[in-house]
């Protein structure tokens, strides 16, 4: 038993020594890169900005003039140099593990055991801030409560339950029509047809509201003006 523990301790010491050696080697490489950099000359911000703009213009001219394989190789080499410089500067500010050139968040799981993915969900973030309105009304049949415009809220409230469910899932939740069709036992084409009918019904009711606002001198948003213009163009075409 003692021999087994001695072997384990020796292995741990070897692993620790290797990790320290790797960390020391990484530090030396970073220091070497810094030593190889040309000395920084204090220049006014305007001068540095002008140099960056000139470099971008020069690279753009080379890209536009590239015709042969060698020309494109030069462009790639230029971009590789820029990427290498950027990555080197970023490494100076990254906290790596075990001295390796790997950031701590590299390979992190989207749904980890300690911090689940749902923690970053929009509704969960709002709840943590004490804003419960969107979470309470996150339901197809409360669709009218998710908008701030009173007239639009009344229009959505008058929709049928089927129209509310399809509008909520395909637009608010960004669910595909195929996935929703599988849930409801309908075809993808049928879902798209019903959604188009519901949107047309909303637009028809909303146009009457917008025309009334326009006649009463109430200012309209750009999207509202475009909706009225599109409706007028459609009527002229028909």
Nearest in space to 159 (alpha carbons), one of 140, 178, 175: 140
Q: What is the pLDDT of residue 106?
A: 47
Nearest in space to 134 (alpha carbons), one of 150, 146, 144: 146
Q: Are 203 and 179 in contact (CB under 8 A)?
A: no
Q: What is the pLDDT of residue 165?
A: 93
pTM value surpassing 0.85: no
Tally DSSP H helices, then E strands, for the chain: 10, 0
Q: What is the pLDDT of residue 57?
A: 85
What b/e readout covers 85-104, taking b as 16+ CB neighbours within 10 angstroms? eeeeeeeeeeeeeeeeeeee
3-state SS assignment for residue 105: coil
pLDDT tens sequence across 133-145: 888 888 889 988 8
Low-confidence ranges of the chain (pLDDT < 50): 1-2, 4, 8, 95-100, 102-109
Name residue 96's beta-bridge partners.
Answer: 103
Q: Where are the domains of the chain?
A: 59-104, 148-237
Q: What is the pLDDT of residue 104?
A: 43
pLDDT tens sequence across 15-54: 666 766 666 666 666 665 555 555 556 677 788 788 878 8
Give the Cα separation of 125 and 110 in Å (integer). Answer: 16
Give the Cα separation of 205 and 186 in Å (integer). Answer: 27
Q: What is the pLDDT of residue 99?
A: 45
- CATH 3.30.70.2190 assigned to domain 148-237? The reply is no
Joined together, the tokens standing for residue 160 give: 């049928």
Name residue 103's beta-bridge partners.
Answer: 96
Show Cβ contacts of residue 143 under 8 Å, excluding neighbours closer than 6 positions. Answer: 156, 157, 159, 164, 167, 168, 172
């Amino acid at each position: 038993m003692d021999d087994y523990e001695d072997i384990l301790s020796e292995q741990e010491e070897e692993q620790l020594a290797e990790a320290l050696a790797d960390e020391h080697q990484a530090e030396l490489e970073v220091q070497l890169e810094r030593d190889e950099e040309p000395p920084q000359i204090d220049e006014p911000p305007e001068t540095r900005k002008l140099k960056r703009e000139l470099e971008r213009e020069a690279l753009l001219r080379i890209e536009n003039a590239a015709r042969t394989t060698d020309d494109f190789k030069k462009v790639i080499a230029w971009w590789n140099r820029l990427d290498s410089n950027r990555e080197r500067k970023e490494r100076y500010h990254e906290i790596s593990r075990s001295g390796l050139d790997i950031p701590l968040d590299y390979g992190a799981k989207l749904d980890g055991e300690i911090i689940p993915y749902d923690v970053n969900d929009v509704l969960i973030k709002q709840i943590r801030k004490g804003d419960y309105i969107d979470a309470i009304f996150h339901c197809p049949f409360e669709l009218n409560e998710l908008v701030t415009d009173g007239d639009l809220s009344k229009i959505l409230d008058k929709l049928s339950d089927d129209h509310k469910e399809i509008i909520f899932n395909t637009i608010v939740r960004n669910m595909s029509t195929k996935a929703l069709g599988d849930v409801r036992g309908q075809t993808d084409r049928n879902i798209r047809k019903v959604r188009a009918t519901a949107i047309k019904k909303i637009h028809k009711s909303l146009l009457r509201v917008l025309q009334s606002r326009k006649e009463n001198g109430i200012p309209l948003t750009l999207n509202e003006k475009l909706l009225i213009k599109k409706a007028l163009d459609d009527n002229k075409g028909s």
